[in-house]
Each structure stands twice: as C-alpha cells, then as structure tokens.
Amino acid sequence: MAEDRHDMEDAALDWVIRLRDPRFEDWDAFEAWLSSDPAHAELYQRLAVADQDLDGVLLPTETPPVEQPGADNVVAFPAQRSRGIGRRTWIGGAIAASLAVLVGVGMVDRQPALYPVETAPGTRRVVALDDGSKIILNGGTRIILDRKDQRYATLERGEALFDVVHDDDAPFKVKVGDATLVDVGTRFNVLREGGTTAVQVAEGAVVYNPESEAVRLDAGRALRAVDGETQLALTAVTPDAVAGWREGRLIYDGQTMAEVAADLARWSGQTVRADHRIAGQRFRGVLSLADGEDIVRLAPLLEVDVRRSGQTWILAPRTP
C-alpha cells in the first residue's frame, strides 16, 4: 500500500524540526527514512530550504550554532531560542504555514534554480540529494546547488566531501574556481581556500578539467592547483585519510602554517591566523581535534608558539 502523501509531508516536517535540535542523535533512523523512498528526500529538501528561508525572519537569532566538533552528522540548521513559545511549536507553525504554499501550489518550482548552502566556521552539515548522493560540508563552507540539476554543484569556498552515486548518463560535476571536476563513480574531498584548490580521492576517480588538462585522479591520488599557475601538483594520499576532518583529524604533508591556521579556524569556529614570519613554514603530521578546541595544546606538535590576541589565536615563531 502506497504511503499517504500527507503522512510523508508530516514526517518530513517532523525531521526538519528534530534536526534543528543540536542534541539530535537519531541519525540511523533519519538515514533509513530518507533511503526508504525517493519522495522522502525530495520533501525533506524542500522543507529544509523553506526552513532556511524562514530562518531569521520568523525566529529570534540570539543563540549561535552549537554542534559537536568532529561529527559529520550535525544538525542541518542552528538551533534558535524563542521567547514565551515552545521552540517546536514556533518552528512547526512557521514551516507548516509555508507547507501549503510549497506543496499545494508548487512555490518551489517558481523559486530561483540556484540556491546556496552555507556553514559557519565550527559547524558541519550533511546535504542529502535525491539520487542518494551526499555532500558533507566542513565549517566555513559555501556551496551553490541547482534545484533543476542536482548533479551539479559549485564550491565557492571552504571544504566538502562529495559522496556521489555514479550515473554514466549524468556524471556529477563540481565547479571550483576556474576548474570543473567530473565524477567517475566517486568519493572525493575538495578544498577551496583563497586562490588554491585541493582535491583528494578516496574511492573511484574524478577527472580534473576534462575539456583541457583532463587529469584523471584515481583513489589514493591528490591534486593541488593555484589560480594563475599552469602547473598542477599531483601527490599520493591514503584513501582512509581523505576528509579526516570528519573525525577531527587534520593530516598534513607539507602544507604551510597559513593553511594549517585556515583549517583550524574552519574546524573550531575560532579566529586563527599565522604570523607572517612563519606563514610559509611547512608542516607534516597529524593534528587530533576530536577532544575539543584547545588550540594552545597543539603548539608542541606544530613547533610554534600559540598566543591569543583579543579573540584571535596566533601561530607565531617560537621564542628562545
């Protein structure tokens, strides 16, 4: 017997509300519900977009995002604090008010095709697509998705892990900087920081700029490209180490302190920068952040001094 449409809408609304809660832990049930029917993912995505559009208009925004560091299964949207009204009632009423418009008269179809998905530094988020693909966003990340083509994404900044269901007839494409990545049955991590793009492949393969360089990256391969430079840096990477940030592990093989500082800021939500005297200093090693956001304790591993100036952590040269 087919599931009643109203029941599906109610269930999707309930998941949107529940995922608002930073203490949410029932990820297995959520994944099972999403995968049990393609219509579930479609409804959830529509209501999640509506929820994001309503966020800040219908809800007070006193409370900053609260997520568990190192987890990729975080809430889709920051929790908010309301005055005098239960949070579930407030959110449920707001989204329910838009549900009739979204589902009843097809408002989503008249919305702009492109829409952003963004995380604040220190937060992570999973975006489930209708075809079963997932995009896991690290902190401080912004991607652009297309309602008319869910096989295309633009990474404007930050870091994301793409877990793609391959389709020979419609390969998944990621636009990053001036380059395009095309999947060949793939699980890959992409970092865009300043004018630098870094790609690491955990499973399958991707093709970098198929219309020009056409560099194929198989599992265990990594690429680094700098805007304005024609030479690409190709290296090896342990597939299991790809997107180690999901478990709070930052793995380095010669990255600069400036890049390390950017990673720490993205992960922790704190402001971190490298002193200009060591910004180009290279680091090789593994940083474990799963047990908290204490930047100071990393100083011995980084072989630098870590000091605080106002709200900013500074990686500085060691003092004699």
Query: What are the pLDDT digits (tens) for 40-67?
Result: 877 777 777 666 555 544 444 334 444 4
Q: Given the DSSP bridges, would you call strands 152-163 and 173-176 parallel, antiparallel or unpaired?
A: parallel
User: Which pLDDT score, from 0 to 100, does residue 52 have?
Assistant: 59
Q: Considering only CA atoms, which of 286, 279, 270 is closest in space to residue 304?
A: 279
pLDDT above 50 (res 20):
yes
DSSP state of 185: S
Residue 137 structure tokens: 């966003």
Average pLDDT of the chain to the nearest whole number: 79
Residue-wise pLDDT tens digits, 151-166: 999 999 999 999 999 8
Question: What are the start and end residues of each CATH 3.55.50.30 domain in the chain?
Answer: 248-316
Q: In the structure, what pLDDT confidence band is assigned to residue 223 with cuts at 50, 70 and 90?
A: very high
| Fold entry, domain 112-242 | Jelly Rolls (2.60.120)
Question: What are the start and end residues of each CATH 2.60.120.1440 domain in the chain?
Answer: 112-242
- The CATH number of domain 248-316, selected from 3.90.1150.10, 3.40.470.10, 3.20.10.10, 3.55.50.30: 3.55.50.30
The angle that helices 87-99 and 38-54 make with each other, rounded to 10 degrees, is: 110
Other beta carbons within 10 Å of 156: 14
Q: Among residues of the chain, what percentage have pLDDT more than 90?
A: 38
The CA-based angle 295-202-217, given to 5 degrees, is 115
Residue-wise pLDDT tens digits, 251-274: 888 889 999 999 999 888 888 999
Conformational region of residue 204, where left means phi above 0, alpha means psi within -120 to 50, and beta covers everything else: left
Whole-angstrom distance, CA of residue 208 vs CA of residue 291: 36
User: Which pLDDT score, from 0 to 100, does residue 310 have?
Assistant: 87
User: Which pLDDT score, from 0 to 100, does residue 100 have?
Assistant: 45
Of 21-30, 99-108, 162-171, 295-304, least confident by mean pLDDT is 99-108
Greatest pairwise CA separation for the chain in angstroms: 75
Q: In the structure, what pLDDT confidence band is assigned to residue 15 with cuts at 50, 70 and 90?
A: confident
The CA-based angle 43-48-49, given to 5 degrees, is 100
